[in-house]
């Protein structure tokens, strides 16, 4: 189940509009304190800028929405960035758009477009991800079951192979073979193999039954936990 969307990591992007330089800084944050620290760092970095316009959206339900125009005409910079973030469904994020004035006034509409488009460039650079609920089941298995387990992890629910290496993960994103009933998050080798398996909450019972059938009931469930993972989303353009 999708919890919310946010950005993958900190990033920046810039553009020139009518001789003004706009630099967008974007970062994922977990709370207001972290967001304010990020804003302060950008203001220090660009203390000679004409404007450093901050905006943040926090909470899985976007409970906190805040922005400042930092000297630009009211409602022309910070608020439109927040509105864009909310419209895109992106939260737990902080944005600062720095402007170095180039001598040409943009007008109300021009400012809104300049700040919003700059923020979008920053989001595209950072990348957007959906944070989803996952259950992690940790099993202790005999080595004789490992190859079969990896083969199952590489198949989707219909038995079609979806990944050459079911244990591989792309950096920070949804595991390879994300169409599979489960994915292998980690393998620890000792007297037995300890396998961390990840699946969506609504399919936990299916995974448990599958492992029981695979091992003839010999696979031991050591722990079970609810967590979250990020799935990359390229919708920001």
pLDDT tens digits, one per residue of 131-156: 888 899 999 999 999 999 999 888 75
pLDDT at 178: 47
pLDDT at 71: 97
pLDDT at 2: 76
Q: Which residues of the chain have pLDDT under 50?
A: 157-178, 237
pLDDT at 161: 43
CA angle 86, 87, 89 (to 5 degrees): 60
Query: H-helix or E-strand containing 49?
Result: none
Domain-ending residue, one of 126, 148, 178: 126
pLDDT at 154: 82
Verify that 46 and 86 share a domain, yes or no.
yes
Q: Which of 73, 13, 22, 80 is nearest to 52 (CA)?
A: 22
Verify that 85 and 46 share a domain, yes or no.
yes
pLDDT at 174: 43
CA atoms within 13 A on the CB side of 120: 15
pLDDT at 134: 86
Distance of CA 180 to the CA centre of its chain: 21
Domain-ending residue, one of 62, 97, 126: 126
Verify that 74 and 140 share a domain, yes or no.
no
Q: What is the pLDDT of residues 21-59, one digit of tens each?
A: 999 999 999 999 999 999 999 999 999 999 999 999 999
Residue that has been written with the tokens 């591989």 in this structure: 168
Strands 93-100 and 20-28: antiparallel
Verify that 19 and 113 share a domain, yes or no.
yes
Verify that 136 and 73 share a domain, yes or no.
no
Percent of the chain with pLDDT over 90: 74
> Residue 179 is part of which domain span?
131-233
């Amino acid at each position: 189940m999708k919890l919310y969307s946010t950005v993958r990591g900190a990033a920046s992007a810039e553009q020139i509009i009518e001789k003004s330089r706009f630099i967008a800084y974007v970062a994922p944050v977990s709370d207001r304190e972290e967001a304010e620290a990020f804003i302060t760092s950008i203001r220090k970095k660009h203390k000679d800028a004409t404007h450093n316009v901050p905006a943040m959206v926090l909470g899985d339900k976007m409970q906190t929405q805040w922005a400042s125009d930092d000297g630009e005409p009211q409602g022309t910079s910070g608020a439109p960035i927040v509105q864009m973030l909310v419209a895109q469904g992106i939260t737990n994020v902080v944005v600062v758009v720095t402007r170095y004035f180039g001598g040409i006034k943009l007008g109300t509409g021009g400012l809104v477009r300049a700040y919003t488009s700059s923020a979008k460039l920053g989001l595209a650079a950072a990348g957007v991800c959906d944070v989803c609920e996952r259950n992690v089941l940790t099993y202790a298995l005999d080595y004789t079951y490992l190859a079969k387990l990896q083969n199952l992890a590489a198949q989707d629910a219909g038995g079609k192979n979806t990944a050459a290496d079911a244990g591989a993960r792309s950096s920070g994103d949804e595991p390879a073979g994300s169409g599979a009933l489960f994915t292998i998050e980690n393998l620890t080798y000792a007297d037995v193999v300890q396998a961390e398996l990840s699946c969506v909450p609504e399919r936990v019972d299916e995974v448990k039954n599958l492992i029981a059938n695979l091992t003839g009931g010999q696979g031991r469930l050591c722990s079970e936990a609810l967590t979250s993972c990020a799935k990359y989303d390229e919708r920001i353009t």
